[in-house]
Structure 1
Amino acid sequence: MADTPARGLGRVALLGTGLIGGSFAAALKRHGLCLDVVGYSTGDAARARDLGLVDEIAASPEAAVAGCDTVVLAAPVSANCDLLERIASSLRAGMLVTDLSSVKMPVVRVARERLGQHVARFVPSHPIAGSERSGPEAADASLFEDRAVVLSPLPENDADAVALLAAIWERIGARVMQLPADEHDRLYAQVSHWPHAIAFGLAAAVGRDDVPAALVGPGLADLTRTAASSPELWADILLSNVGPALAAAARFRQEMKAIESAMRRGDRDALVALLEAGARWRRGFQ
């Protein structure tokens, strides 16, 4: 594990004070990895201050960034892109900037277009953690413990910026991995983005048939747990990663067509083989 400076991330501007941003701030505070946190949000920054997640709130992203050492973009993907454009002219030399977005390439494109020399210290990151709950009330300082965090360093990045951010994540208990931004988006379309769409779709299909909740067992409850998440957030994620998500959808559709075909034919052996392919993969990480 790399060493972290005594002041950690110093004074932190947190742009987005919901579940993920609030949890990151809480973890930094628990482990003594920041001096203080300035929060900005269009909706819940005051509540985050009341909960002790941030020390003060700013009236604008530009005001939040002023005088800070680190900027953390913790809003939905499209909002993070807008925020990055707004703060570009407010950044100063040496500031570390990261985002916590579930999709990397849109934010990376804005960083390269708008940040100029500051792109050297913009290190994309994605904590693989969350909850169907949202808002600062859902923040949890332990949320990232023993969870993967994917860093997507850019070729332009300063090595010390990448090392510092990796060390901070490790200090709060996360397991740090690295993936190029485009590869991250391709893989997470398969393992997160499209599966969430499936959960929403399945829940809607069952709900339209007015199935009594008392009849729902743990299997369906587990499959649709993430359908209780924010539809606005997940629409933003899916629309920010359309190409890879639609490619994942096509692969899923192919598997489902094969299963339906085996059922229509009454071909038990083919059906078992198709189901076993999924079972083998799932058993591999139990």
Structure 2
Amino acid sequence: MKRIAILGSGLLGGSIALAAQKRVPKLSVSLWGRREKAISDALDRGIKEATTDLAQAVTGADIIILASPVGAMLGILEKASAATSLKDVIITDVGSVKLTPRDTLEHVVKEAGALYIGSHPMAGSEQTGVGASCEDLFEGAACVLTNDFRHPDNEVTKLRTFWENLGCNCYLTSSEDHDRVMARISHLPHILASVGSLVGLKHPDDGKFAGNGMRDTTRVASGHPGMWTEILRRNKAALKEPIEETISYLREMLAMLDDSSDEGVTRLLEEAKTLRDGLQPNGHSTD
């Protein structure tokens, strides 16, 4: 593998470029973005080959990483395919859902003779834009790979090795299982953080009393609303069950408080504590 092209000049795209430059110095790394301002910011951050010229970015790439919003991926890939041959190129993405890009991109990938293998590095921030990118963002982070089209193991290994070189711990699963798990461990927590902000800060002046508990549990609510609307909408089927379970637990807690059931409340909190204490630490939270 000699060259990668990252299509999307946001936080993740910029962080991938910086991390690859630092950790795989022999690899040629290009970053493409639509807006001149974003590309100027990327160059200022030290990304050596940043451009608004899509053909320049993708020509000669062994791996193309779609780092745009999921809804924009198809149009970008179609233009990339028109600009240069994508035969035998590995196409991947960093979307927080995997069924949508898999199904949306399939026909373009097949017509181009390329290979689609999904990626989801579990690293991010409530900050946005290439100016917030970080070369160590992926250190210790999980990265989920999906190979629903059953491409050869050596092709999956190429992509796995790339993410591992950036510091990720990689796991292989299906797109269906990925979206089901993300609904619970990533997308539902964002909803809860947002609801926590709406309820806890109903009277904004109360925020002056907020400690780390409020700040930690609602941090991800500062994420980009438009981006998260797209994620939640595209994974709505998998989100239905965990949202209903959340409502059930809240009703159970309310009933126990009404009944002054110390034993019941303690049992619920102890169960939650045990599960949380068993959570393995990693370098970055899921956003």
Normalising by the residue count of structure 2, what TM-score does the alignment of the two structures yield?
A: 0.89
Structure 2 counterpart of 1:260, from 254, 262, 286: 254
Structure 1 counterpart of 2:168, from 169, 174, 191: 174
In structure 1, the partner of 2:285 is none
Structure 1: runs of 5 or more not aligned: 1-7
Number of aligned residue pairs: 277
Residue 88 of structure 1: CA displacement?
Answer: 4.3
Post-superposition Cα deviations, 1:221-245, rounded to whole Å, max 9, x if no partner, equal 1100111111111111111111112
Following the alignment from structure 1 to structure 2, what is the Cα–Cα distance between the partners of residues 187 and 82? 28
Following the alignment from structure 1 to structure 2, what is the Cα–Cα distance between the partners of residues 144 and 121? 24
CA 106–72 in structure 1, closer or farther in 2 if over 3 Å, else same: same
Classify the secondary structure of the residue corresponding to 1:14. Answer: strand
CA 120–257 in structure 1, closer or farther in 2 if over 3 Å, else same: farther
Mapped pair 1:213 → 2:210:
no
CA 38–11 in structure 1, closer or farther in 2 if over 3 Å, else same: farther
Following the alignment from structure 1 to structure 2, what is the Cα–Cα distance between the partners of residues 259 and 227? 23
Q: Given that residues 77 and 240 in structure 1 are in contact (C-alpha distance below 8 angstroms), is that contact kept between their aligned partners in structure 2?
A: no
In structure 1, the partner of 2:33 is 40
Residue 267 of structure 1: CA displacement?
Answer: 1.6
Supply the AA of the counterpart residue of 1:222: D
Structure 2: runs of 5 or more not aligned: 281-287
Supply the AA of the counterpart residue of 1:74: A
Classify the secondary structure of the residue corresponding to 1:178. Answer: strand
Mapped pair 1:68 → 2:57:
no
CA 65–194 in structure 1, closer or farther in 2 if over 3 Å, else same: same
Following the alignment from structure 1 to structure 2, what is the Cα–Cα distance between the partners of residues 40 and 108? 22
Following the alignment from structure 1 to structure 2, what is the Cα–Cα distance between the partners of residues 147 and 122? 22
Following the alignment from structure 2 to structure 1, what is the Cα–Cα distance between the partners of residues 63 and 75? 18
In structure 1, the partner of 2:19 is 27
Supply the AA of the counterpart residue of 2:66: L
Q: Given that residues 77 and 107 in structure 1 are in contact (C-alpha distance below 8 angstroms), is that contact kept between their aligned partners in structure 2?
A: yes
Residue 220 of structure 1: CA displacement?
Answer: 0.8
Following the alignment from structure 2 to structure 1, what is the Cα–Cα distance between the partners of residues 50 and 124? 25
Residue 102 of structure 1: CA displacement?
Answer: 0.8
Structure 2 counterpart of 1:143, from 131, 137, 140: 137
Following the alignment from structure 2 to structure 1, what is the Cα–Cα distance between the partners of residues 65 and 227? 18
Q: Given that residues 147 and 156 in structure 2 are in contact (C-alpha distance below 8 angstroms), is that contact kept between their aligned partners in structure 1?
A: yes
Deviates more, 1:217-226 or 1:68-77: 68-77
Supply the AA of the counterpart residue of 2:237: G
Deviates more, 1:119-128 or 1:234-243: 119-128
CA 52–70 in structure 1, closer or farther in 2 if over 3 Å, else same: same
Post-superposition Cα deviations, 1:154-211, rounded to whole Å, max 9, x if no partner, equal 2332322211010111112111111111100000100001110111121122222224
Following the alignment from structure 1 to structure 2, what is the Cα–Cα distance between the partners of residues 135 and 57? 16
In structure 2, the partner of 1:280 is 274
Post-superposition Cα deviations, 1:120-152, rounded to whole Å, max 9, x if no partner, equal 621100001111111111111111011111111
Deviates more, 1:80-89 or 1:161-170: 80-89
Supply the AA of the counterpart residue of 1:185: D
Q: Given that residues 81 and 106 in structure 1 are in contact (C-alpha distance below 8 angstroms), is that contact kept between their aligned partners in structure 2?
A: no
Following the alignment from structure 1 to structure 2, what is the Cα–Cα distance between the partners of residues 264 and 121? 57
In structure 1, the partner of 2:217 is 223
RMSD: 2.0
Residue 247 of structure 1: CA displacement?
Answer: 2.0
Deviates more, 1:208-217 or 1:227-236: 208-217
Deviates more, 1:213-222 or 1:84-93: 84-93
Q: Given that residues 119 and 144 in structure 2 are in contact (C-alpha distance below 8 angstroms), is that contact kept between their aligned partners in structure 1?
A: yes
Classify the secondary structure of the residue corresponding to 2:204. Answer: coil
Classify the secondary structure of the residue corresponding to 1:161. Answer: helix
Normalising by the residue count of structure 1, what TM-score does the alignment of the two structures yield?
A: 0.89
Identity of aligned residues (%): 28
